[in-house]
């Protein structure tokens, strides 16, 4: 592979913020492990690879579509003007083709799982792609993003068990509250721009102070659901240790982002949430493997 091709691949990785897969992938691994343990199976690494590919393809399609449909807004916003499409590093038609290819690959990958995953794959794509349009008509776009990422644990569970159960649903609800909460924090950066473009968000609708309160309430809800899941799943001490660290990280996020100081919002959004996701998943999966 030539240097030029490697550079082009890197541009597409940058386009979709491939490192942000760290938010959803750990919860997908929780769902996968839950599915295997619920049926008394050993971990099937072939299926694990397919599940990981599904997560990557779906997320690539979703983020690529987001960049494609928001390209005119990104061009006007100083914070996003250096993204690949506004800078013409990647052409809009090429980005759209990237979305279509990843959507097709996602549906193809689900066919290697089971029939339920295959027939639900268009619904999953509708959810993750549809999020990108929500800021145009609702302030609750953050919840749609949360819903999109919440498909990871329940989808990975379905890949193994081919049925719905309480625990993966609880973890999906955790993801909805957690992601919605931190996306509200992230949206604080664009209040003025969103107002100027008639784009909707909860920070625009509520103001910084009230948006931060709602974000904190969503994160408290995420912590509460984790506690419920812990008792429902009869987890051991490793789970509770991971849950405690996850909760403390969420608390820390709200200590460093304030209505009059959002300078550390990227630390809270990217670094801290990525760490929280990985640590929590590590302890949950270890608990499942050692004590289930």
Architecture of domain 3-291: Orthogonal Bundle (1.10)
Other beta carbons within 10 Å of 173: 21
pLDDT at position 281: 98
Calculate ∠ Cα 132-54-179, nearest 5°. Answer: 45
With contact defined as beta carbons under 8 Å apart, do 84 and 56 qualify? no
Strand partners, 261: 258
Neighbours of 88 (CB within 10 A): 9
**Which residues does the chain have with pLDDT short of 50?**
none
Q: List the Cα angle 155/158/162 in 5-degree steps.
A: 155
Do 149 and 23 touch, CB atoms closer than 8 A?
yes
pLDDT of residue 1: 62
Contacts for 5 with CB less than 8 Å, ≥ 6 apart: none
User: Taking the domains of the chain in order of start, what are their residue ranges?
Assistant: 3-291
């Amino acid at each position: 592979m030539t240097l030029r091709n490697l550079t082009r691949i890197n541009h597409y990785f940058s386009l979709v913020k491939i490192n942000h897969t760290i938010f959803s992938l750990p919860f997908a691994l929780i769902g996968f492990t839950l599915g295997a343990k619920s049926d008394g199976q050993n971990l099937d690494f072939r299926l694990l690879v397919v599940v990981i590919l599904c997560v990557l393809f779906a997320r690539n399609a979703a983020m690529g579509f987001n960049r494609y449909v928001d390209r005119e807004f990104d061009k006007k916003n100083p914070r996003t003007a250096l993204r690949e499409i506004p800078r013409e590093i990647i052409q809009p038609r090429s980005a759209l083709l990237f979305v279509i290819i990843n959507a097709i690959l996602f549906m193809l990958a689900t066919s290697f799982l089971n029939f339920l995953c295959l027939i639900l794959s268009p619904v999953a794509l509708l959810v993750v792609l549809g999020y990108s349009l929500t800021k145009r008509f609702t302030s609750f776009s953050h919840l749609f993003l949360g819903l999109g990422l919440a498909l990871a644990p329940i989808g990975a569970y379905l890949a193994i068990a081919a049925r719905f159960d309480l625990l993966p649903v609880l973890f999906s609800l955790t993801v909805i509250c957690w992601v919605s909460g931190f996306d509200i924090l992230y949206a604080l950066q664009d209040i003025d721009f969103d107002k100027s473009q008639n784009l909707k968000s909860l920070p625009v609708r509520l103001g910084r102070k009230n948006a931060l309160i709602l974000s904190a309430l969503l994160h408290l809800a995420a912590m509460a659901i984790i506690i419920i899941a812990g008792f429902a799943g009869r987890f051991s001490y490793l789970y509770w240790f991971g849950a405690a660290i996850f909760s403390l990280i969420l608390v820390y996020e709200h200590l460093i982002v304030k209505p009059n100081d959002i300078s550390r919002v990227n630390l809270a959004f990217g670094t801290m949430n990525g760490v929280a996701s990985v640590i929590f998943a590590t302890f949950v999966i270890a608990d499942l493997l050692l004590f289930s």
